[in-house]
Amino acid sequence: MNIQRFDQVITADAVVVGAGVAGLSAALGMAPKKVLLVTKTALGDGSTRLAQGGIAAAVGPDDSPSAHAADTIAVGAGLNDVGAVSVLTGEGPDRILDLVAAGARFDRGEAGEFRLGREAGHGARRILHADGDATGAEVSRALTAAVLAASHVTVVEGCFATDLIVDAGRVAGTACRTGDGSKLALLAPAVVLATGGIGRLYEWTTNPPEVTGDGAAMAHRAGARLADMEFVQFHPTALATGRDPMSLLTEAIRGEGALLVDEEGTRFMTGVHADAELAPRDVVARAIWRQQATGHRVWLDARAVIGSAFPDKFPTVFGLCSEDGIDPRTDLMPVSPAAHYHMGGIATSLDGRSSLPGLWAAGEVTRTGVHGANRLASNSLLEGLVFGRRVGDSIAVTVGTLPGRSVDLPDPGTAPDRQPDTEMALRTLMWENAGLVRDGIGLAFAVDEIDRLEEKIDPAPSELRNMVEAAALVARAALARTESRGGHYRSDYPATDQSWSGRADS
């Protein structure tokens, strides 16, 4: 075995890269397999803890998985995998009960029933919340506590997975680099990528700094199939106060009746869509973008419908607004769209297998087919729970041991210097040319600029290199799809072309 470049070689039954809802769920489901859970930040960081809106699941007396599935497919604009949607909505209620058994505390009514909210695209109240708008934080807390109590899981914090180790056509582990510069080889017959999305490719995003497209880039370098990379969801209402990342203003605020208005206090969504502020996210986000493109500013007005109840109903948002000197009980909240979620990624089966033997994936890094061209609000945490569990179950019953032969290990390299100016140049390029509204000229320009940028940056594995590679995948896919659908809107091809329906091109 080629180990001279490594400070330590560690073996396990499985390696999970990422410690959000999908990674934690997968790791828990693999018992009694020996699992290494790797996170490049601290356990509990990442996008899951920031999720405000809630978890969608058909747990109400007037709801059903089939109704939830119908709403999911309607928003997905013809690209959903019906089987994947059926799995998501059918298994969702049981995964909620698992969370409750693990200690998750969801908001309940006086009789102990789940207090359910409604969000855009949903035909029923089916959104579970915790402490109003701190659902992700509660889910992360409960799952993290369960992982720390699980004897089969070892957590490795501050460890950046740089590349997949591929041996004889199958994945056999990951090369990693720690914060102190140590180089690790984590060898296992199963690797799960649960690294989240690509939000930091864009100038304006709600995603934390660590969301740099690592999983998509690693999988692509190793030869796994990716699909639907062009479909990026921009959340309509991020708090526009100059923060990076931008603070999210949960869709549940609009679910309670808050209105979008311009600087004169005039609503504009009523002339855009029959559901007005509760139209699908891509519709609302582009409507706000158009207002901004014509010189208007946009605010979210919750004064009349929430008012003095804001600190109790939405304590997280109230705190974020207060930090920026805004009192949503009496003030309008300035908003702007921001990159929020990626519907594309590693193509997987219903148990999370990729096209590359030995590699599974779960959560936002994947293209399961659940979301299609546009994710239904509050289906993201549910996807991580459902498919993370399915990945864990699959590995628990199918994975054997590593072959005894020598494995060629990729060098994780040394950490290159951070290049904030280069990163911001990439993010601005993507926002302006591969953002909410795209066209062929802008996308071709972005592809050329990304190619030039790739030639200039340090070749050592890094977050910047992953960002550049992931950006190239998004821009090339967006240039190739000559239609508009869901989160992908081409001003030069504004209509939906039915010849693209059902296609998930890599």
24 is written with which tokens? 């934690």
305 is written with which tokens? 């419908």
For the residues of 64-88, what is the DSSP string, one character each? -HHHHHHHHHHHTTT---HHHHHHH
Q: Is 364 in contact with 341 (CB distance < 8 Å)?
A: yes
Angle at 146 between CA 141 and CA 151, to 5 degrees: 145
Selection from 134, 137, 124, 141 nearest residue 53 by Cα:
134
Angle at 363 between CA 21 and CA 189, to 5 degrees: 95
What is the identity of the amino acid at 310?
A: F
Q: Is 53 in contact with 380 (CB distance < 8 Å)?
A: no
For the residues of 200-244, what is the DSSP string, one character each? GGSSSBSS-TT-S-HHHHHHHHHT--EE-TT-EEEEEEEE-SS-S
Sequence-distant (≥ 6) Cβ neighbours of residue 296 within 8 angstroms: 262, 263
Q: Active-site residue among 281, 353, 465, 476?
A: 281
56 is written with which tokens? 């969608």
Q: Is 52 in contact with 206 (CB distance < 8 Å)?
A: no
Sequence-distant (≥ 6) Cβ neighbours of residue 132 within 8 angstroms: 107, 312, 313, 314, 315, 316
393 is written with which tokens? 């179950």
Q: Is 436 in contact with 337 (CB distance < 8 Å)?
A: yes
Question: Alpha-carbon torsion 438, 441, 442, 445, what sign?
Answer: positive
Annotated active-site residue 281? The verdict is: yes
Strand 8-11 relative to strand 183-187: parallel, antiparallel, unpaired? parallel
Residue with tokens 């995948």: 473
Residues annotated as catalytic (active site), given as ranges: 281
